[in-house]
Amino acid sequence: MDINRRDFLKLSLPALLLPVAAKTLNVTPASAAGTKNSMIVDEKAVLWDATKCKLCHMCEAACRKKNNLPENVNRTVLTSANPDTKQNIQYIFKHQCNHCSEATCLEVCPVGAVHRNEYGFIEINQATCTGCGYCAEFCPFKVPVLEGSSLSGVRKMEKCTGCPDLQAQGKPTACAGACPFGALTVGDRTDQLIKATQRWVEVKDTIPTATIYGSTQLNGMHLIQLLYSSPDKYGLPVDPKVPVTATIHHEILQPIGWGLGALAIAGLGLNYLMARKSMLEKKAKETKG
Amino acid sequence: MMQEVEKYSKATRLLHWVHAGAFIVLFITGLILFVPGLNVMAHGGWTRLIHRIAVGFFVIAPLIYVPLNWRATVRGIKDAFTWGKADIGWIKAFPRYYFLCDEECMPPQGHMNTGQKAWWAMVLIFGVVFGVSGLIMWLLADSTPNELRQWMVIVHDLAFIATGLMLFVHIYMSVIHPIVRPLNSGAWSSMWRGKVSSEYAKSHHSKWYAEISGETETGKGK
């Protein structure tokens, strides 16, 4: 197989530049994932204390009002795993985005519509969101809701964003601002964890099963809940993980697909140069003979 | 006037072009969601809508073709999954044949050579894989568990990578590789006009040419 140095360089140089291009264009997994906490400047957390909650549901109403949502669309719901126990605070948890430090939705969003803000909360860029639903499919808590048409695919992702505009003004989130019983507060995350622990110490004699949820799960969540029981009683995963499928899709298949595609094109280019050379040599031999 | 033979019927060609057109649209709209640097083009959701419209053509075209061309369909599916010693001959010869253009080393090929048959089998298999995984992700989304749809994303990814790579090879082998020239009497012509020159048929698909013309194999190939 005879290929001269010039032809070889013509092909291998672009191939060598591919990894450089990848880094520059930010197509490598780590940079595209964005789950790193380098964005966080002023880490906050929302604390929901079940032992203070009276199930008035004003937090839900305030959230709907602030976000202009219709009656049947909620970004936060005080609910139970079992429909029979929806009125009993012992079975209630705050079902909404937990703003995980290790956020699956952020990793799987194909268009980078999901990002983390400076307070540590996860936001959706509504203009960018294509409604593909990967975030809803991969979320370990099945939180994101897709509003729109499943048929046409025209829809947007809805979930709690932690009211970043209010937080920027030093105000509490809409839900926390509406709670008349102090069950919902917003503050510096470390302070909120201390507060949750202090409250847990206060109640553990009367509520021995009380559990703090969100302190360490998924590297720490920005919604912290003081629940009456252990999380599994609410249908919440005790040790939630980013699903393995999310890792396979984002960290393995995407780079492999990109890499193999580039290799295939380079390989075909190489084949073309060699084949053309061979044909020309054959023709030259034929005309000579 | 060169002598010609018909290689692909009008119905087959129509199916090919409608299906290929749909596949390219599906491929590009899928690629935009798959390669991080390209996803800026997907903002807002219009590429997903185009993807779904193309799915319509992708699925309906074969569904119309099959009942109207039943015998050809049965034969075609049989061909895709009939593999044997002759194919080993192609596999052994293909580096020399496609890189060095040594036409003497390639054993006689039928209507589809081994490489074409492999692509055809892939189209059949992955067509179904895409259809089923896509159906679950789209129309059955509300009635299936999240975990199943996560795995369908993975399955769809794998099918996309496999067929995407073969698409590049297919286009390259049909119109770019020097051995498929000239275009007006070779591979391109077979699917565009339906005909190839007798010379092309004799040299590239001599087993098939012998069957249809009654001629014994000449010259090229062992």
Confidence of residue A77 (pLDDT cuts 50, 70, 90): very high
What chain B residue is nearest to A283 in terms of C-alpha separation? B101
Span A24-36, pLDDT tens digits = 444 444 333 344 4
How much is the pLDDT for A148?
86
pLDDT at position A15 over 80: no
Region A267-281: mean pLDDT is 94
Cβ contact B150:B46 at 8 Å: no
**Of A155 and A45, the one with more pLDDT:** A45
Mean per-residue pLDDT of chain A: 88
Distance between CA atoms of residues A245 and B151, nearest Å: 7
Q: Do B48 and A130 touch (CB under 8 A)?
A: yes
Interface test with B, best of A20, A150, A278 (most B CBs within 10 A): A278
- Environment class of B114 (CB within 10 Å of its CB; exposed 0-12, middle 13-18, buried 19+): buried
Distance between CA atoms of residues B191 and B173, nearest Å: 13
Confidence of residue A163 (pLDDT cuts 50, 70, 90): very high
Confidence of residue B222 (pLDDT cuts 50, 70, 90): very low
**Of B183 and A63, the one with more pLDDT:** A63
Cβ contact A92:A135 at 8 Å: no
Percent of the residues in chain B that have a pLDDT greater than 70, as a whole number: 96
In the block, residue with structure tokens 């699917």: B191
Q: Is A127 on the interface with B (CB under 8 A)?
A: yes
How much is the pLDDT for A27?
42
How much is the pLDDT for A53?
97
Cβ contact A188:A202 at 8 Å: no
pLDDT at position B157 over 90: yes
Of A128, A132, A136, nearest to B48 by CB-CB distance is A132
Give the least confident one: A6-20, B42-56, B87-101, B203-217: A6-20
**Of B35 and A49, the one with more pLDDT:** A49
Six-digit token string for A205: 């004699």
Span B7-31, pLDDT tens digits = 999 999 999 999 999 999 999 999 8
DSSP notation for A225-274? EEESS-GGGGT--SS----HHHHIIIIIIHHHHHHHHHHHHHHHHHHHHH
**Of A238 and A149, the one with more pLDDT:** A238
DSSP notation for A148-165? E-TTT--EEEE-----HH
Q: Do A150 and B141 touch (CB under 8 A)?
A: yes
The number of angstroms, rounded, from the C-alpha of A185 to the middle of its chain's C-alpha atoms is 23
Region A282-288: mean pLDDT is 86
Residues of B in contact with A150 (CB under 8 A): 138-139, 141-142
How much is the pLDDT for A11?
60
How much is the pLDDT for A29?
40
Region A173-179: mean pLDDT is 97
Q: Is residue A245 left, alpha or beta, with left meaning phi > 0 and alpha meaning psi from -120 to 50?
A: alpha
Confidence of residue A289 (pLDDT cuts 50, 70, 90): low
Span B80-132, pLDDT tens digits = 999 998 899 999 999 999 999 998 999 999 999 999 999 999 999 999 999 99
pLDDT at position A271 over 60: yes
Q: Element (H or E) spanning A187, and its range?
A: strand A184-188
Q: Is A1 on the interface with B (CB under 8 A)?
A: yes
Cβ contact A220:A122 at 8 Å: no
Region B32-40: mean pLDDT is 78
Return the bridge partners of A123, or none: A115
Mean per-residue pLDDT of chain B: 91
Cβ contact B76:B189 at 8 Å: no
Q: What angle do CA A97, A101, A104 make, to 5 degrees?
A: 65
Q: Do B168 and A265 touch (CB under 8 A)?
A: yes
Q: Is A279 on the interface with B (CB under 8 A)?
A: yes
The pTM for the full model equals: 0.85
Interface confidence, given as ipTM, is 0.86
Span A133-154, pLDDT tens digits = 999 999 999 999 998 888 888 8
Return the bridge partners of B53, or none: none
How much is the pLDDT for A1?
46
**Of A1 and A222, the one with more pLDDT:** A222
Collapsed DSSP state (helix, strand, coil) of residue A166 = helix
Six-digit token string for B215: 């001629």
Q: Element (H or E) spanning A65, and its range?
A: helix A58-66
Six-digit token string for A261: 């595609």
Of A138, A154, A257, nearest to B49 by CB-CB distance is A154
How much is the pLDDT for A10?
60
Does a cis peptide bond (omega within 30 degrees of 0) precede residue B62? no
